[in-house]
Structure 1
Amino acid sequence: MHDVIIIGGGAAGFYAAIQIAESAPDLKVVILEKGKEVLSKVKVSGGGRCNVTHAEFDPNELINSYPRGSKELLGPFHKHGTGDTVAFFEERGIQLKIEEDGRMFPITDSSQTVIDFFQSETERLGVKVLKHSAVTNILPLDLKNDEKAWEITTIKGTYTSKKILVATGSNPKIWKLLENLGHTLEPAVPSLFTFNIKDERISGIPGVSTYAKVELLKRTFNPKITIKLSSEVPDEALLVSEGPLLITHWGMSGPAILRLSAWGARILNEYGYRFRIRVNWLPDYHKGAVLPLLLEIKDMEAKKTVLRTKAVDIPRRLWTNLVRASGLNGDTKWADASKKQLQLLAEQLTECAFLVEGKSTFKEEFVTAGGVDLKEINFKTFESKVLPNLYFAGEVINVDAITGGFNFQNAWTGAFIAAQGIISK
């Protein structure tokens, strides 16, 4: 009989194991990992540098980076937030640094630093780590004197434990077992992804990055209709995101796109990842404000070509493509540009519509929306409300975040509070 079995050898599982073993060294703790390696997601995080957390220390601000779970995480972040995470690692010799965008990494710039620490620390504390131990069944047991326990069956054997912590992320087999136990699980859909777009306006300029506002538009799209009707109602945005946008070989990426993919995860899944976006390359302006600016430049720079006279603060290669998309060729001088052409250019700069046809995973950092229904979890302990002595941490619950270390912070916080719940009960 074990005291605690942790299912899942990832970030949340190891963090919880260390917390339990340090606070209650007499408890027998085991980690069951289905694969041949542990901490695989830690290894690839942040391009192999491990984006440990984000330098946002105010829980009220921190929750704004979670499309799902923000309300539920406010209390937990007050108990164990970013500052507590930083202290945990630095007190144990893992020094962290803050980058300009707020992401925090080990000063070694290597995820192996974190992996080696977790493995050596669990070994020092006597936590058993059993690899190649995929769980095939989880059953509650009734013991003598009305005591409860758990029976966990793996491909290698069967184990019993007083308490279990599930920290398996979006493992569909584990999710099915949790459903069999009576839990409700929100279906998993991708959360962080880039947009696949084939369009001349962004063709041939991969690597161009600029600050932009991106809006998700309603699904209705007819590529055959190119003339705007006078009675047409302007598209209203379903979601809006603002930030750096990166043009890639396959379409668009960058924080503005990734945020939109996170907040729109379920909508975009329903759309089959074929949808429309509208980009304002000058987020401080709207079309009506840009046109007078272009008309003014027309008078001031009359003899210069539109293509070579960049009128606004966007990358030159992007300006060139947008000018051409407005029907202005390379030889057109500002004096010869018609008002209609400049109206089209103002529209390209502020209301640039694109058809997205598919998605691509953001680097190796595959994040999903979905998991155990948040109403079925006690967020003071991260214990199941459905079955006693069953705890959760990490992405197995219906919580996910934008990129930047926020998903790991959810894992650390949930693991800490679950560990405290396990120890105190």
Structure 2
Amino acid sequence: MTTTELGKYILDNSGFVLLVLALNFGILFLINASSSIKASILKDLIYIPARNRKENVLLLGGLAMAFSNIIVMHNIYSSDVVGTSDKFSALGYILGVFILTIQGYLDDKFELSIKARLIAQGFTLLTYSVFLHFIFPIQSSLAFILLIVIWGFGILNGSHIIETAQTMSIKVSTLILFYFFAVAYYFNFLHLSYIIALVWVPIACFWIFKLFKKNIRLGEIGPNVLALSYIFIATQVYLRLTGIMSQTSSLLIVLIPLSIPMGEVFFNLTKRLFQRSYKDTKRSNLFLHVLSNENERFVSHQITKIVSMYTLIMMTSFFIIAYYGGTAKYILAFFTTTLLLMASYFLQAKKCSVLSKEKRDFGNINNFSHDNGLIKKDLVETFDVDSENE
């Protein structure tokens, strides 16, 4: 598909794009107003406040993302301009999102066990893999399906870890999708670029909505949908790249952005195994980001630094792919990503160690100053009282 043909296709489907936008904002407004709904049945269905939080934080923000992407993939499945691989992948994606949306909703509503979550994730990945079996080359289909299942567990759980750190999920998902968009556009997969843009629309809608209504979260559904979207897009990019380069080079290109959520899992596992001094580490904290329980101002500051590092890493990798010569550049790009991510996790581990020491010495710290560091408010107040008595 040429640029002119894509432009005409987008103009012809502009009504569909507006429908996707309206659907996202409509569902988000409904969830935001769920606490004041008078119909008891509807309120019981969509009003799910976050547990263990003083403020009224609403979950199910990811529901708009799920419905939006199902409609987008149905549009792709029904389209005549896509090939068989797109249709099989889209159908597998729709079924996968349906399963993960049910699991995410039940988890938000009743808090499922970790075992139940992992079973749902495994069933989803196997369901999606069944459809890939019909489009992957026979000689390599089993190996790549196993890779999708194993890597898929990491991406799903890594996305959940990222979501626990406030707005980090929105920013990281935007970065990952932008990388895939840049690769698709660079290699002239223009229709795939359009699909990636449509997948990003609900993320943008949620981001805009959250600027005005801060009491809404993606919940368990959001990370599920984002993770499966990464896998779907990576599959599509990989299948197209294998037509112009080797399978190994194609695989390395698509694994580069997926290393971010996968790396979060390894980072948490490493923290759990080796950082014995972190007193707050519990069994459930394996699925929490190190910043998840910190002060909002402090978290926002740290997330900006972390996402900036990730952006630099992705830009460096894409620069190597686009401007270096020879087939070895794909290996270089992948290992550069791996090494730089390890460096970023080392810096995060260092910050984690500082937080651990502060918590051990002062307890939970609720205030943060960019100039004076971490100071426990009660200590300051006690000091002031003692000074007055003297």
What's the TM-score once normalised by structure 1's chain length? Answer: 0.25
Larger Cα-atom Rg: 1
What's the TM-score once normalised by structure 2's chain length? Answer: 0.27
Q: Which has the higher contact order (CA 8 A, sep 6+)?
A: 1
Q: Which is richer in helix? A: 2
